[in-house]
Amino acid sequence: MNRIVMRTLMAAAVVLGFTAVSRAEDSYTEGPVVDMTFVKVKPGHFEEYIKFIDTEWKALNEALKKEGLITAYRVVGAPSYGHEDWDLMLVVEYKNMAALDGLDDKSKPIVEKLAGSNQKMEEGTASRGEIREIIGEKMGRELILK
């Protein structure tokens, strides 16, 4: 008798689990994909880094947007709560996951035109390392509630 009750309860739990997943999927649609970079600007270098963001980073993202490779970009500032916490988040938005397919090959000519050779890009990245630290990166998808 205990086995029958246990199997019935397990089957009910599975059915309820699938129903919950089904209901969750019915409550939202998948939206754009965002790539977030979390940056900690080193003390005394905020204006210098913002100048880079407002010129080179912005120009690159404007060009990528013009070509339809990204849909939007933005910068989010927040007070940091320790030396390992970010104070700027750089966000680049893509239409969907499929927009990432072949993105490197599609964006390479634009990046090279604006940023120069690989060596020049690496030198720029190294020099920015003196004024900021990348705390982490994360990719996510917006869930649009119905």
Three-state SS string over 35-80 comes to EEEEEEECCCCHHHHHHHHHHHHHHHHHHHHHCCCCCEEEEEECCC
Residue 15 in any domain: the answer is: no
Mean pLDDT of 130-142: 96
Residue 99 in any domain: the answer is: yes
- Residue carrying the six token digits 């910068």: 75
Is pLDDT at 4 greater than 70 in this prediction? Answer: no
- Give the chain's domain count: 1
Q: How many residues does the chain have?
A: 146
| Helix-strand-coil split of the chain, %, nearest 5 | 50, 30, 20
pTM equals 0.78
Q: Tell me which residue of 78, 80, 84, 103 sits closest to 92, measured CA to CA.
A: 103
Residue 17 in any domain: the answer is: no
pLDDT band at 117 (very low <50, low <70, confident <90, very high): confident
Residue 12 in any domain: the answer is: no
Question: For the domain that residue 73 is a member of, what is the CATH number?
Answer: 3.30.70.100
Residue 93 in any domain: the answer is: yes
Residue 22 in any domain: the answer is: no
Is pLDDT at 19 greater than 60 in this prediction? Answer: no
Q: How far is residue 81's CA from residue 33's CA, in Å, rounded to a whole number? A: 27
Q: Which domain holds residue 73?
A: 28-145
Q: Specify the pairing of strand 72-77 against strand 132-145.
A: unpaired
Least confident of 35-49, 54-68, 82-96, 118-132: 118-132
What one-letter code names the amino acid at 84?
Answer: E
Is pLDDT at 35 greater than 90 in this prediction? Answer: yes
Residue 4 in any domain: the answer is: no
Tell me if 36 sits within 8 A of 91, measured CB to CB.
Answer: yes
**What is the per-residue pLDDT for 123?**
80
Ramachandran area for residue 99 (φ above 0: left; ψ -120 to 50: alpha; else beta): alpha
Residue 20 in any domain: the answer is: no
